[in-house]
Structure 1
Amino acid sequence: MAPVQSNTPALPWDICEEIINAFWWSLVTNRDRTKFMVASSLVSKTWRDLYMLISLRDIHITRPKFATNMMYIGTDLFRFEYEPTLNERAGPLVRSITWHMEYSASRACTPEEVAERGMGGCVNVCMYTLNNFPDMFPNLRRVRLEYRNYPYADLFHNLRLYHLPPIIEAVDVRYRFDENVSEEVMDLQRREQDLTHFAPWELKNVREMSIIGGTKAVAKELLSHTPKLKQLIIDRHCASKLRIRANVDDPKYCRVTLV
C-alpha cells in the first residue's frame, strides 16, 4: 500500500482520538491488535498522527519484534520518516508499557515450555534493559502484564518483576482465560498455590497496583512486597478471598477500589 497522501480527506480529530483510544485499551487478541497497528498508518494523516502519539504514550507489545522497535525509539537509532519532530521527543512521550502474554488454549504444550522463546523472555529482557538505561524513557511510570491463558504463578516462577525499573510507580497485573480452555486446565489454574516467599524482589517505589483476575495467593504475595502502596485496584472476587474492603480517601492508609 502507498503512503498516506497530503490530499487524503481528514477525519475529525476528536472522533479519531476517541476511536483509537477505545481500541487501544480494549480486550482484543494479539493478532487483531497487530492488524490495527499496521493499518493505522494507512487511514489518513490525522489518524496516523494521533495513532503515533497514543501508541507512543502507552506502548503495547504483542511480539518480541515490537519490543526491539520500542528500544530503538529510546535511542538515536530510530528515525520517524513522516514525523521528524518526533525524533527528538519520542522517548519522553512514553508513560506506560503493556506486555501481552498470550497463549493458545488449544496447544498441547504448556506456556512454560515456550515462554522464554517468545513473550516471556521478551518481558525479562525489556525490564532488564529499562532498569539499566532509565534515560531511554524518563517519564515511564507504569508497567502492565496482560496474561491470557497463562499460569498464575508465571509472574513469580520466571521473575517477571525482578528487574523492575526504580522509576516505575504503578504495576498492573491482569489474568483472563478463553471460554474454550478445557476444564482440566481451568481446574489446575483455580487450584490455589502457596506462593509465600516466591517473589525475590521488593517493589519499594510502587505506589499504585492493579490485580485483576488473579488468585488470593498471587495478590497476597504481590502486596507483601509493596511496602509503600497508596492505591490498590482489585477485583471483587479476589478481594473477598483476602477480606479486603473498599475504602475512602485517607492519606494514612492505602486506598482500595473494587472492580
Structure 2
Amino acid sequence: MKLINTLKQKRWEVGKFQLFYKVLWSLYNIYRFVAIPSYRSRLLYSVWFKKHYHQFSNFTKKDRYPDLFQIAKKEFENIEHPRILSFGCSTGEEVITLSEYIPHATIIGVDINNWCLKEANRKYASENRKFLHSHSPKFLSSQDFDAIFCLAVFQHPENRHNKNLKESAYPFEQFERQLKQLDDKLKPKGLLFIDHCDFNFLETSLMPNYQIAIFDKNQKIRQRPIFNKKNQKIAEYQNLFRVYQKK
C-alpha cells in the first residue's frame, strides 16, 4: 500500500524520475484492469458515460460521515416515512448506514456503475432499500425526497493529487448540471448534503433556492483544494458548509 501511495503522488511531480513513475503507474493500472473487476468496471463506465461520470473511485465504507448521519437521524426521527436518496452510492455501504440511523426511512441508492449496483443489491437490498441506475427511467421519474446525500461524489482525484494543477479536471458545469437534476427531486424544506466536493455550493445558480441549514458541525475545514465556478483553483484548503435546506 505504501508503494501504491508513492506511485500515486510521484507521477504528478516534476523531475527526472517522473516518466519512470508514470510508466510504473500505467503498468499497475493494466494489472488492475485485467485482475480486478471493480477497477475494470469503473474504467469502462467512465468511458461509456463520460459526460455523466463524477467521482472515478468507487471506494466507500460504512458510517463514513457519522456527524452528517447524526444530523439526518435527529431531523427525521419524528417524520413517519422519510424518503432519502444516496446519490453515487457505490456498493451500498452509505445506504445500509443510513438505514441503521433512520430505520423507518425508504432509502434509494443510485449509481452509474452496474457492477457496484449488483454488489449493493446482493449485500443490502430490502423492502426499504432499493438500488437504481442513475439513467434508469425509474430514477429519472422519481421525486419527493426529504433528503439527498452527495458525499465524495463531485470530485476528481487529479484535483487533489496533482499539486501543479491550476484548473479543475472536473468541470463546474457538470457539477451544476447534475445538481439541477437532483434539485427537481428534492421536496421544499428538504435537505441537501454535500461533502468532499471540489466546488462550493454557494457559487451555484441554485443557491437562491436554498439556505444554509442551521446544524452544529455543518461547516468544516478540510485540507484539500477548492475550485471556483470558472474551474480555477483558489485555495489549498476548504471551509465549507455541508448541509443546505431547500426553501
Q: TM-score range by the shorter chain?
A: 0.3 to 0.5
Higher strand residue share: 2
TM-score of the two chains, using structure 1 as the length reference: 0.33
TM-score, scaled to structure 2: 0.34
Q: Taking CA–CA contacts closer than 8 Å with sequence separation of 6 or more, which of the two structures ends up with the larger relative contact order?
A: 2
